Amino acid sequence: MIYNQWYVILWSKEVKKNQVIGIKRFGENLVIWRDSQGNPGAARDQCPHRGIKLSLGKIKDDHLQCPFHGFEYNQAGECKLIPANGKAAAVPEHIRAAAYTVNEANGFIYLWYTDDPVRVANFPPLPWFDDMDPSLAWSEMKDHWKAHYSRVIENQLDVVHVPFIHRTTIGRGIGPVVNGPYIKVFENGLSYWPKNEQDHGQTPLRPDQMPEPANKDTFLTFLFPNIWQNHIMDKLRVVIAFVPVDETNTILYLRTYQKMVTIPVLRNIFLWMTGKYNRVILHQDRRVVETHQPQATSFRMHENLIPGDFPVVLYRKKREELKNKAVISAFKS
Structural domains in the chain (count): 2
| Whether 155 contacts 262, CB under 8 Å | no
Which of left, alpha, beta for 173 (phi over 0: left; psi -120 to 50: alpha)? left
Residue 302 sits in a domain whose CATH number is 3.90.380.10
Residue 332 lies in a domain: no
Q: CA-to-CA distance for 130 and 137, rounded, in angstroms? A: 17
- In this structure, the answer to whether residues 79 and 227 fall within a common structural domain is no
Provide the phi-psi class of 269: left if phi over 0, else alpha when psi is between -120 and 50, else beta.
Answer: alpha
On whether the CB atoms of residues 177 and 326 are closer than 8 A, the answer is: no
327 in a structural domain: no
Task: Print pLDDT tens along the chain (333 aa).
Answer: 999 999 999 999 999 999 999 999 999 999 999 999 999 999 999 999 999 999 999 999 999 999 999 999 999 999 999 999 999 999 999 999 999 999 999 999 999 999 876 666 678 999 999 999 989 999 999 999 999 999 999 999 999 999 999 999 999 999 999 999 999 999 999 999 999 999 999 999 999 999 999 888 899 999 999 999 999 999 999 999 999 999 999 999 999 999 999 999 999 999 999 999 999 999 999 999 999 999 999 999 999 999 999 999 999 999 999 999 887 665 455
Neighbouring residues of 191: CB distance < 8 A, sequence distance ≥ 6: 183, 184, 219, 220, 221
Residues 173 and 289 in one domain: yes
- Given this model, what pLDDT does residue 76 score? 93
Q: Is residue 42 located within the same domain as residue 174? A: no
Angle at 119 between CA 115 and CA 121, to 5 degrees: 100
pLDDT of residue 211: 94
| 208 in the same domain as 100 | no
The distance of Cα 249 from the centroid of its chain, to the nearest Å, equals: 13
The structure's pTM equals: 0.93
Q: Are 215 and 221 in contact (CB under 8 A)?
A: no
Domain boundary among 53, 81, 113: 113
Domain's final residue, options 113, 148, 176: 113
Is 191 a member of any domain? yes
pLDDT score recorded for residue 119: 65
CA 273/CA 247 separation, integer angstroms: 32
Q: One-letter amino acid identity for 144?
A: H
DSSP letters for 275-314:
HHHHHHHHHHHHHHHTT-SSSS--SS-S----GGGHHHHH
Please give the C-alpha separations between residue 18 and each of 21, 41, 128, 165, in angstroms, as whole numbers: 10, 11, 28, 44
CA distances for 245 relative to 7, 49, 113, 143, 155, angstroms: 12, 26, 13, 12, 18
Residues 207, 255, single domain; the answer is: yes
Termini Cα distance of the chain:
20
Residue 120 included in any domain: no
Domain range holding 17?
Answer: 5-113
- Residues 198 and 177 sit within 8 Å (Cβ to Cβ): yes
Domain boundary among 79, 113, 147: 113
| 88: CATH | 2.102.10.10
* CA–CA gap between residue 91 and residue 83 (Å, rounded): 10
152 assigned to some structural domain: yes
Strands across the sheet with 40-44, in order? 20-25, 28-34, 40-44, 99-100
Q: Are residues 238 and 308 in the same domain?
A: yes
The answer as to whether 131 is a domain residue is no
- Say yes or no: 19 and 83 in one domain: yes
The secondary structure of residue 96, as a DSSP letter, is B
Q: Do 177 and 315 fall within a single domain?
A: yes
pLDDT for 216 equals 81
Grouping H, G, I as helix, E, B as strand and the rest as coil, residue 156 is helix
Same domain, residue pair 70 and 143: no
Whether residues 106 and 147 share a domain: the answer is: no
Q: Specify whether 158 is located in the same domain as 87.
A: no
Q: Do residues 155 and 60 share a domain?
A: no
